[in-house]
Chains A and B, each alone.
Chain A
Amino acid sequence: MQARTIPTGKNHQECSVTLRFIIRRLVFLVLVIWAASTIVFFIPRLSNRNALRERFGELARTGGFSPADLEKIIASMQQQFGLDRPLLEQYWQYLHNVVRFDFGYSLYRYPSTVSDLIAQSLPWTIGLLLVSTILSFIIGNLLGGISAWPRAPRWMRSIATPFVLLTGVPPVIMAILLLFFIGFKLKWLPLGGAYSVGQVPNLSWGFALDLLRHQILPALSLILGSVGGWVLSMRGMGITIQGEDYVNFAEHKGLTAGRIFRDYYMRNALLPQVTGFALALGTVVTSAIIVEGLFGLPGIGTMLNLAIRANDFPTIYGIVLFITIAVAVLMTIVEFLYPLLDPRVRQS
């Protein structure tokens, strides 16, 4: 029998453990993506609705061709999209396409592919959602950390309180309030759109500034509402950590206050928050639909919203699947980061 914690000669062992961990996570990731795509494949086929029939029926009603031709058109389209073939064959073809990020054609914006639509709208969403999620993570944890730090001055510890109060305000209301007061009444910032009407996207400072001005209100409405959540969970962690022996011993060692705060207190209190961050990434999309819609930003949320209204099934499912994959990948990345942050996780 070999003891598990022999300090010498463990490098080899540690390496294979790490490798096993990575492989296991990657296999799990593939499984998640497969499950998500399978659900996305079967759910529309469970419903009685036929997207083609609805779309062409609508066209037929508004005129253009006779209802008699409708059946023929639908039949030929069914054949073109491969909808007349057996379900399993369709499923196999579909999986084959998903692997190549081919989600098919958009019905509403035919002949654009769903991948094209996603590629167009994705930068907007990443620019706003990811940045504001990261910002509110940083701000919230810093404020929460300070608010539970007994050695911080009282005024510093109370900065976090208003943010906690704002947690109860849903992003919609927050966005409307910001729009009304800052955009409409005070006219400090534009009311909506990704950039000013008449501007042509280019690589100049003027355009970049204009772009930034348009992102401030949407970002604020996302950040103001979510900082409080981070503050609360971080404060809970902080209260536990500040009483830990190693924080006290750090002070006994005569370390400067800043170093104790950073290396001994925050570093440890942040560990569970990283998991929280991975979970928060999952809710990013929900906020995207609301906030992008309200501010008229051409992101993934808006695209999804439009697709739903237009019964554009391939686009809906393409976007949903894409988001699922993106969140799963991001979470896996965070999970790979975690052992780097906490040495104790590395061995178990």
Chain B
Amino acid sequence: MNVTLVHSAVQPHVPMSIAAAEPVLRVRNLEVTYYTDSGRAKALDNVSFSLKAGEKLGMVGESGSGKSTLALAMMRMIKPPGRIEGGQVLVGDTDLMALDQEGMRKARLSRIAYIPQGAMNSLNPVMRIGAQMIDAVRSHLPDEPKPAVEARCKRALQSVDLDAGVFRMYAHELSGGMKQRVCIAIGILLDPDVIIADEPTSALDVVTQRQVMETIDNVQKAINAAVILIGHDMGLMAQFVDRVAVMYAGRLVEMSSVREMFTDPKHPYSRALIRSLPSLDNKGVFQGIPGLAPSLLRLPTGCAFHPRCDSAMPECSTARPEAQILPGGRSVTCHLFDGEA
């Protein structure tokens, strides 16, 4: 069966032009290990996926499942004792992992931009917002004349619905939502191909959360970038992304369109995640996921999720499942679907 054909057929909400386009981001077999005193912790284990221009991917998972590590690894910002052990991150045709230091510095923001998790403290308190935007542009386009740089920065502020006056202000004069918008504005300054937003709404109130998400949505449409949205909030995510990827213990356990994920999750962990969401139908009944996320230092044998899995089989504790592409193009890493690929 031709997988790609079916793939585009069952995703009617993705425009055909996007579905047919070449992926702008391809992550292949990305591996990150932290060398701690008590042993090696594999924070990313053989993670592969690809994104097309204009596509939005939501990345969910418990704390410590490797979402942020994935974002940092793609930016090549993993700090010791962590190390990127292997894999490729291709933006267009450039493999970020093969670039030298200076090449990677230039790729940051101009090819792949990162919108930080703690936007509250992500702006330098002693520099004006404008200066922090200008130095970002300047370090990539040293020859652009000053008026052009300033115009570019003010355009970016405008596109995140901020007043041009913010340009002359300091971080402490802005509200949390405004600071997050400034970070988004900085992220889109150079029209990157890929934007990674690491829990962009985690410290904001619900109203601001929605506004910030809409801002990301708008700027993303304007520059047609691929977006990876990292976060815990499945509800918020459901409204904004095209596809959802679920991570567990450093592995990508399921990746599918947002509709399929919410109506028919395949992996037992995704099923449990969706079940744990509060809904209007079963008020007051919350179903958690039994057990705790495993320590990366002592992962269970076989499938890392098997001790908490309600449909575990004998082979789950011995053999590690590999990612399966199911009919329809979604991928699942679980023994339950071994025969179906």
| Residues of chain A at the chain B interface (Cβ within 8 Å) | 5, 7-8, 150, 244-246, 248-256, 259, 263-264, 267-268, 271, 341-344, 347
Contacts and interface: CB of A to CB of B under 8 A. Distances in A.
Contact of A252 (B106, B109, B140): B109
Interface string B109-144: 110011011101111111100000001100110000
Nearest to A151: B79
B109 A343 contact: no
Interface residues of B, number: 33
A254 B105 contact: yes
B126 A255 contact: no
Contact of A245 (B109, B122, B135, B169): B122
Contacts of B170: 343-344
Given A267-B126, A343-B125, 20 more contacts: A7-B165, A8-B165, A245-B117, A245-B121, A245-B122, A249-B116, A250-B124, A253-B108, A253-B109, A253-B139, A254-B107, A254-B108, A254-B136, A255-B105, A263-B124, A264-B127, A267-B124, A342-B125, A343-B172, A344-B125
B319 interface: no
A245 B116 contact: yes
A238 to B, nearest CB: 15
B44 interface: no
A253 B120 CA distance: 16
A347 B109 CA distance: 33
A254 B116 contact: no
Nearest to A343: B170
Pairs of residues from A and B, 3 with the lowest C-beta to C-beta distance, nearest first: A254-B108, A245-B121, A252-B114
Given A7-B173, A344-B170, A344-B172, A254 B135 contact: no
B140 A254 contact: yes
Contact of A342 (B117, B122, B126): B126
23 contacts: A5-B173, A244-B121, A245-B117, A248-B116, A249-B116, A249-B122, A252-B114, A252-B116, A253-B136, A253-B139, A254-B105, A254-B109, A254-B136, A256-B105, A256-B139, A259-B135, A263-B127, A264-B127, A268-B124, A268-B126, A341-B126, A343-B170, A344-B126
The prevalent SS among residues of A at the interface is helix
Nearest to A257: B105
A246 B173 contact: no
Contacts of B109: 252-254
A252 B108 contact: yes
B107 A249 contact: no
A164 B102 CA distance: 34
B75 interface: yes
A249 B179 CA distance: 13
B103 to A, nearest CB: 11
Contact of B139 (A255, A267, A341, A347): A255
Contacts of A244: 121
A246 B124 contact: yes
Contacts, number: 83
A225 to B, nearest CB: 31
B77 A263 contact: no
Nearest to B169: A7
B91 interface: no
Contacts of B79: 150
Interface in B77-108: 77, 79, 105-108
Contacts of A252: 75, 77, 108-109, 113-114, 116
A14 to B, nearest CB: 11
A344 B124 CA distance: 11
A343 B77 contact: no
Contacts of A264: 124, 127
A246 B118 CA distance: 9
B120 to A, nearest CB: 8
Contacts of A7: 165, 169, 173
A245 B72 CA distance: 13
A339 to B, nearest CB: 11
Contacts of B110: 254
Interface in B180-211: 183, 186
B169 A255 contact: no
Contacts of B105: 254-256
B135 A255 contact: yes
Contacts of A342: 125-126
Contacts of B124: 246, 250, 263-264, 267-268
Which of B117, B127, B186 counts the most chain A CB atoms within 10 A?
B127
A254 B139 contact: yes
A242 to B, nearest CB: 10
B1 to A, nearest CB: 42
Contacts of A268: 124-126
A245 B123 CA distance: 8
Contacts of A248: 77, 116, 122
B166 to A, nearest CB: 9
Nearest to A265: B124
Contacts of A256: 105, 139
B161 to A, nearest CB: 15
Nearest to A342: B126
B291 to A, nearest CB: 32
A98 to B, nearest CB: 39
Nearest to B75: A252
A246 B122 contact: yes
Which of B106, B124, B186 counts the most chain A CB atoms within 10 A?
B124
Nearest to B125: A344
A315 to B, nearest CB: 45
Nearest to B127: A263
B77 A251 contact: yes
A227 B107 CA distance: 39
A255 B125 contact: no
